[in-house]
């Protein structure tokens, strides 16, 4: 087996550790150089969902990778997905993690707009 092989099991982090990592990731998005990279990607995307995926998501993924690799996640897209799944598993148990997760997503996902008629069929109720 190659020495560089990454374990496919995500690190087991407690709720407190997840909060610490989330706080660090959110802080990383606020760092001037990362904020500038995100702003440039947003400008390139022009509020187009397809372009958001093309320009913004890779930058957001890279910023997260730079932080979470120190916590045992692989430094690739898979590591970010595993981190996202771990956060999701804690969201229902811990309102602080749910709040921090929402804050993180808001940094790189465009705000979801309601249909003009305000219909709430099939949507998630805003709280």
Quote the CA–CA distance of 68 and 74 in Å, as a whole number: 8
> Lowest-pLDDT range, 6-10, 66-70, 85-89, 109-113?
6-10
pLDDT digits (tens, 9 = 90+) for 102-111: 999 888 876 6
* pTM for the full predicted model: 0.77
Q: Using one digit for the tens of pLDDT, what is the confidence trace for 8-46?
A: 566 789 999 999 999 999 999 999 999 999 999 999 988
80: buried, middle or exposed (CB in 10 Å: 19+, 13-18, 0-12)? buried
Name 28's Cβ contacts closer than 8 Å, sequence gap at least 6: 34, 63, 64, 66, 67
* Widest distance between CA atoms in the chain: 58
């Amino acid at each position: 087996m190659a020495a560089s092989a990454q374990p496919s099991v995500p690190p087991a982090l407690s709720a407190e550790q997840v909060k610490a990592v989330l706080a660090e990731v959110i802080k990383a998005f606020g760092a001037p150089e990362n904020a500038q990279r995100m702003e440039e990607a947003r400008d390139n995307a022009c509020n187009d969902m397809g372009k958001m995926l093309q320009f913004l998501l890779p930058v957001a993924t890279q910023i997260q990778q730079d932080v979470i690799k120190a916590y045992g996640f692989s430094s690739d897209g898979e590591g970010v997905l595993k981190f996202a799944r771990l956060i999701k598993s804690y969201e229902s148990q811990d309102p602080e993690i749910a709040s921090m997760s929402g804050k993180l997503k808001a940094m790189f996902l465009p705000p979801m707009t309601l249909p003009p008629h305000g219909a709430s069929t099939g949507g998630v109720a805003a709280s």
